[in-house]
Structure 1
Amino acid sequence: MAGPASDARTVHSLLEEAARAWPEQPALYEAAGSRQWKSITWRQYKTAVEEIAVGLRSIGVRAGEIVAIDSETRLEFYLADLGIMSCGAIAAALYTSYPYTEHVKTLAALEPPVVFVENPKVLAALESAAETPIRTRWVLLTGEADGALTLEQLRAIGREAMSADPGLPAAVLGSVEPGDPAILYLTSGATGDPKMGLVSHAAIVANVDMGPKVTPLGPGDCSIAFLPSAHITQRVAMEILPLRVGMAVYFSEGLARLPQELKSVRPTFLVAPPRVWERMYSNIRGEIRKRGPLAQRVFYVALGLGAEVARRRQEGRDVPAWMLRLLRSADRLVFQKIRERLGGRLRMAVSGAAPLGKDLADFYAAIGMPIHEGYGLTEGGIVALNPMDRVKSGSIGKPLPGIEMRLAADGELIFRGPTLFSGYYRAPEATAAILRDGWLHTGDIAEFDADGYVYITGRKKEVLVASNGKKIYPAAVEGLFKMEPLINQVLLVGDRQPYVAALLTLNLAVAEDLKGMDPWRGKPAAEVVAAGPVVEEVKRIVKRVNRQLAPFEQIRRYHVLDRDFSIEAGELTPTMKVRRARVVENHRKIVSDLFLGREGSDGLG
């Protein structure tokens, strides 16, 4: 469906267009028990959003005010979010994985006149975490509680106001201008304190208008949403892009149920962070290890064939007919069964929110499910994606239509285009530091190849400079561990030090499955990671990685922690990015001892 010019539309315009084009087609699905789903149509979606928009105006919300949402991703979130934007207010979603004390601090800073909360339990937790009463009006997306409106009550207020004044909806919806702010994103704060970025309707519409030019998505497609709604990838790709292309969205009930939901929904489009793709790969590797020698040989021969075909396609070379015939047999015997885990209908798999390892991308390309890695920032929207016809592993793809990218003198990736944010909330100096002369400075070090594909090689703030002046980009080294099922997380240290060291965390389930681990099954994590078979396997893995590195990049010493990095300890952002400085601070003595020779294992021995 072709749309009018981006600069003439708001986010609500997208919903109007969808309801006009596909009024009775299902738009959103929520679980109804026993693998059943209930849906609402695009017409019902539009009606609900407009009732909420008018309801918000009726209870005193003014254009330009911030309205917060504290909820997991669910159907009611979508209704509230678009209702807020449609009335001219600014939607601010909180990261639900943060402690409630952090939620309270954010609400105190924003002073929203209305806060949508998921259920009475969340409301009670917020009120309990606050030292003084939070001065706002609460709206519950589900359930009931004293002193709070329900979502249905808010909709009823909107309906009554519309009945009393038939011209009110047009007045409310028509008062919103494309240049008005629509969303206030709370950045995850991977490299510093979280900031809040304002994004206009025009920037959002311009971003999703790029979708039909680079994806095959349409009203016959469907996807399943499970990412945090506070994150730009979920908000743009899974909430607002479907308005533009008419794609139906199902809502997952949680990561534990996702594997079965994928088989039930059979999505044609799936967006997931690297951690999901890594877990799936680890599970496949674990299952193959349990098979007999013949089954293992068949799998690895098929994988080698698939990898060669994928490599030729990525390089733009012809694939011989005999090789394609063999691949069809391998696909039928091996790869098709793997793809059926995701429903068997997937047309486009996308990885975003964090870098995807090249080896991992190569694996999925080999099994006939190329992952289209993309790239985006809170401050700039989704701005790059691997094309449908030629994915290049290890690359974030090419700039989307209308986005201009180049490298600064120091190799930093900068870009400009219609998707740029308006600035940080009440932080003009921070805005000026990242947005200069119309160019957004990403903080990522990048390279372009001859075909215009972009490769991120590291973060400016994360570069380790060895005592001999050599530069090491941690992300490149850490990415080599992503193909190792035993390794959960890796963090390189060694800035201004004579060598590189690392902190590692392990997948305990994989560790307990190693040969010789029977005596340690069910033991505390500290005992499992120190068990002889685990120690030897980690040593082999580090040696294997070191063989792929230049001498100055190699890990000389390492320490295996007995717990993962966590959000609770401040070491991960809500999108699971590692806060490097906090990890080092939390493990300061271990890191110090790694360079004094008092701690850790020898990575070269």
Structure 2
Amino acid sequence: MRDFGNARAAAPDTATGPAMTGGLADSLFDTAGRNPGLPQIARRTDPADGTWTTVTAGELREEVLDLAKGLVASGLRPGHRVAVMARTRYEWTVLSCALWTIGAEVVPIYPTSSHEQIEWILRDASCVAVVVEDEHGVMTVGSVCGSLPLLRHVWQLDAGALRDLVERGRPVPVTTIDSLRRIVLPDSTAVVAYTSGTTGHPRGCALSHRNLASPCDTLLAGWRQIAAPPGEQPAVLAFLPFSHVYGLMIQGMCLRGGILMGHEPELSADALASAFLTFRPTFLYAVPYVFEKLYKNFLRTAQQAGRGALFERAGRTARDYASAAERQRLGTGSGPGFDLKFQHALYDKAVYRKLRAALGGRVCGAVSGGSPLNRELALFYAGIGIFVQDGYGLTETSGGITAQPVGREKSGTVGRPLPGVDVQVAADGELLVRGPSVFQGYVNDDLGTRTALRDGWLATGDLGRLDSEGYVTITGRKKDIIVTSSGKSVAPAALEERLRVHPLIHQAVVVGDNRPCVGALITLDPEFVAHWRGALFTQGDAPGRDAREAREENALRQEVARAVAAANTTVSRSESIRVFRVLTEPFDVANGLLTPSMKLRRDAIARRYAVEIDAMYQSSSRIPRERRTEEPPTWDDSDDVFRRVR
């Protein structure tokens, strides 16, 4: 068993600040007391005009106080649990701070959760109130209220619920709120965050104020200086769900670090593009899907402008430059040569500057979390001037437990353990962690808590490795390992990650349990497929419809096969994808094939597409044995993808 802790931490000499004495709300009150005019929130009241208004720390404190009084007047007391079922919006921040001010506990729920999931969480957490966004949320909660005898209030944001609460609380003296805030202890529970539940019911992770503050304070102490140019206040656009611990960590860092925060509830490409241009963040926090989508949008835009070849050359130069710079900072190379520097400078003026401008023009760095970021993609962003720090964390660890050390970043890893965090690799490859951010336990599940926490070490369920310098590389989830009929164990994450890099491929899930070889189910990106189809034929080259469709289908077969072949170069032959099938619809939350945090529900996918998987392997079995190793991955004649994406 290998163990890396403080001696090999990401920033071993970085202090994390004074000891915590109260709750999370104290940081807002402290900031407002020291610097009430500090811009704390940028609020976009009318998305159509693209303007943002500033809410200062002092103004935010007063809103939180007024709302806290309304909550007390409604009967809420310390220890009461209140569910928040809303997208990432300004009211989420005000509400969570108000609840923490009076010692109540926040139970985040994804707005897209099913009736069954909502009922389970509200009952399991014994919630006394729930806050929803709109009438749809009211109806959803109303449909399950009959089984929730403890639920007293359903508040609707879009119906002015917070305004009504403020009015109700006017008779409550401020001293009452101050008294409640001062009895909140660091080890009091602040959040009960439910895991995504890829199998079975989600489990509620009890996270204390100290748990949630720990990674925020550590990252602020060691990394805040890279979040904005010197002398500027960092600005972060929060668009990841606050229903997930990663989103809560972003909010916590902004509030505890005096970082200007804007909210963007929509995750569509158009909404994010508009928000980037108008808010102009200095630093991005996102998941790999966002960085993959941004790259594909960059590529598609360049190709539509007739500059696709230029973009691809610029992309290769960016990756080469970033790779050479990485070798230099890690002491294994001399850095970019003169020719590479010259080419990089030319492309910076012609290409990279425009890409940065599309993100607002001020972004100087980023963090990717949720799952590992593809190394080639990370090098691309670093090469265009936006270094993406890949980190790692869990709901059970209140967010981040590793980060890239400043000046010693290593793409393809998730960095080193944070100060105060210890990481071990067990004999079976599972990562074990301990530290101040590790959760208090699962709500109403003592057996699950004892299983996860072993002598103070949290069994993460993730497989990984530690190199000689303490960098952590995630190789997959323990429960996701595929075992073929020949006994070969395959971790699917690396193959899936490599497939998604291809512009045409939207999603991929690797299958093969008890099968003769590894296979893949693939979905295509409709926007890029439409663009790709249009680019197949030059002006004047317009064959008849049947001939055109046959040519398109054949070209797409070849393109997807090339993507599979490229993914196979990252693994051994016995681990490579030998068969695949293109599916008719994407995996998403609505059809139950993705968790709200965008993770694959592998069991549900396998059940939904059992017929397609069987057909895929039956097609492969018809290939004569002497030819099988030379055949490309199968593509059944029924895979007429274009009929499905038009």
Contact 1:207–1:419 (Cα < 8 Å) also in 2: yes
Task: Quote the residue 2:566 is aligned against.
Answer: 544
Contact 1:365–1:371 (Cα < 8 Å) also in 2: yes
Summarize deviations over 1:174-197 as a string: whole Å, max 9, x none.
121111100010111135431110
Task: Quote the residue 1:147 is aligned against.
Answer: none
TM-superposed CA distance for 1:329, in Å, is 2.6
Q: Give yes or no for the alignment of 1:115 onto 2:126.
A: no
Q: Give yes or no for the alignment of 1:306 onto 2:318.
A: yes
Task: Quote the residue 2:175 is aligned against.
Answer: 167
Q: Give yes or no for the alignment of 1:225 onto 2:238.
A: yes
2:93 is aligned, of 64, 74, 78, to 78
Summarize deviations over 1:225-279 as a string: whole Å, max 9, x none.
1111110110012x11111210011112523321011011110011111111111
Moved more, 561-570 or 184-193: 184-193
Amino acid at match of 2:32: A
Q: Give yes or no for the alignment of 1:188 onto 2:196.
A: yes
What is the CA–CA distance in structure 1 between the aligned matches of 2:352 and 2:437, rounded to whole Å?
38
TM-superposed CA distance for 1:58, in Å, is 2.8
1:158 is aligned, of 133, 150, 169, to 169
What is the CA–CA distance in structure 1 between the aligned matches of 2:336 and 2:519, rounded to whole Å?
45
Task: Quote the residue 1:478 is aligned against.
Answer: 496
Q: Give yes or no for the alignment of 1:178 onto 2:189.
A: no
1:89 is aligned, of 101, 104, 114, to 104
TM-superposed CA distance for 1:515, in Å, is 4.8
TM-superposed CA distance for 1:321, in Å, is 6.3
What is the CA–CA distance in structure 2 between the aligned matches of 1:296 and 1:142, rounded to whole Å?
44
1:31 is aligned, of 17, 20, 44, to 44
TM-superposed CA distance for 1:304, in Å, is 3.0
TM-superposed CA distance for 1:38, in Å, is 2.1
Contact 2:288–2:372 (Cα < 8 Å) also in 1: yes
Distance 1:191 1:600, change over 3 A: farther
What is the CA–CA distance in structure 1 between the aligned matches of 2:237 and 2:622, rounded to whole Å?
43
Q: Secondary structure at the match of 2:278?
A: helix
Distance 1:124 1:603, change over 3 A: same
Could you say what the CA RMSD is over the residues aligned between the two structures, in angstroms? 2.7
Report the TM-score, using the length of structure 2 for normalisation. 0.85
Moved more, 207-216 or 470-479: 207-216
Q: Secondary structure at the match of 1:491?
A: strand
Summarize deviations over 1:425-473 as a string: whole Å, max 9, x none.
1101111111111111111111122332110011111111223332211
Task: Quote the residue 1:451 is aligned against.
Answer: 469
Contact 1:191–1:461 (Cα < 8 Å) also in 2: no
What is the CA–CA distance in structure 1 between the aligned matches of 2:167 and 2:286, rounded to whole Å?
36
**Residues 380-459 of structure 1 aligned to structure 2 (within 5 Å):** 380-381=397-398, 382-459=400-477
Amino acid at match of 2:460: T
TM-superposed CA distance for 1:297, in Å, is 4.7
For structure 2, the residue ranges without an aligned partner over 5 or more in a row are: 1-13, 624-630, 635-646
Distance 1:528 1:167, change over 3 A: farther
Q: Give yes or no for the alignment of 1:577 onto 2:589.
A: no
What is the CA–CA distance in structure 2 between the aligned matches of 1:569 and 1:304, rounded to whole Å?
37
Distance 1:566 1:230, change over 3 A: same
Distance 1:511 1:142, change over 3 A: closer
Task: Quote the residue 2:27 is aligned against.
Answer: 14
Task: Quote the residue 1:257 is aligned against.
Answer: 271
Contact 2:488–2:574 (Cα < 8 Å) also in 1: yes
Contact 1:464–1:474 (Cα < 8 Å) also in 2: yes
Task: Quote the residue 1:592 is aligned against.
Answer: 614
TM-superposed CA distance for 1:124, in Å, is 3.3
What is the CA–CA distance in structure 2 between the aligned matches of 1:226 and 1:555, rounded to whole Å?
35
Report the TM-score, using the length of structure 1 for normalisation. 0.91
Task: Quote the residue 1:335 is aligned against.
Answer: 352
- Aligned length, in residue pairs: 589
What is the CA–CA distance in structure 1 between the aligned matches of 2:550 and 2:199, rounded to whole Å?
32
Q: Give yes or no for the alignment of 1:68 onto 2:73.
A: no
What is the CA–CA distance in structure 1 between the aligned matches of 2:397 and 2:148, rounded to whole Å?
36
What is the CA–CA distance in structure 2 between the aligned matches of 1:333 and 1:377, rounded to whole Å?
40
What is the CA–CA distance in structure 2 between the aligned matches of 1:173 and 1:597, rounded to whole Å?
65
Distance 1:600 1:512, change over 3 A: farther
Higher relative contact order (CA 8 A, sep 6+): 2
TM-superposed CA distance for 1:203, in Å, is 1.3
Distance 1:530 1:444, change over 3 A: farther
1:140 is aligned, of 156, 163, 170, to 156
Distance 1:482 1:84, change over 3 A: same
TM-superposed CA distance for 1:539, in Å, is 2.2
What is the CA–CA distance in structure 2 between the aligned matches of 1:600 and 1:590, rounded to whole Å?
16
Summarize deviations over 1:409-439 as a string: whole Å, max 9, x none.
1111111110111001110111111111111
Task: Quote the residue 1:49 is aligned against.
Answer: 64
Summarize deviations over 1:396-416 as a string: whole Å, max 9, x none.
111111111111111111111
Identity within the alignment, %: 31
Summarize deviations over 1:469-488 as a string: whole Å, max 9, x none.
32211001111112201111
Q: Secondary structure at the match of 1:69?
A: strand
For structure 1, the residue ranges without an aligned partner over 5 or more in a row are: 145-149
Distance 1:35 1:599, change over 3 A: farther
Distance 1:488 1:85, change over 3 A: same
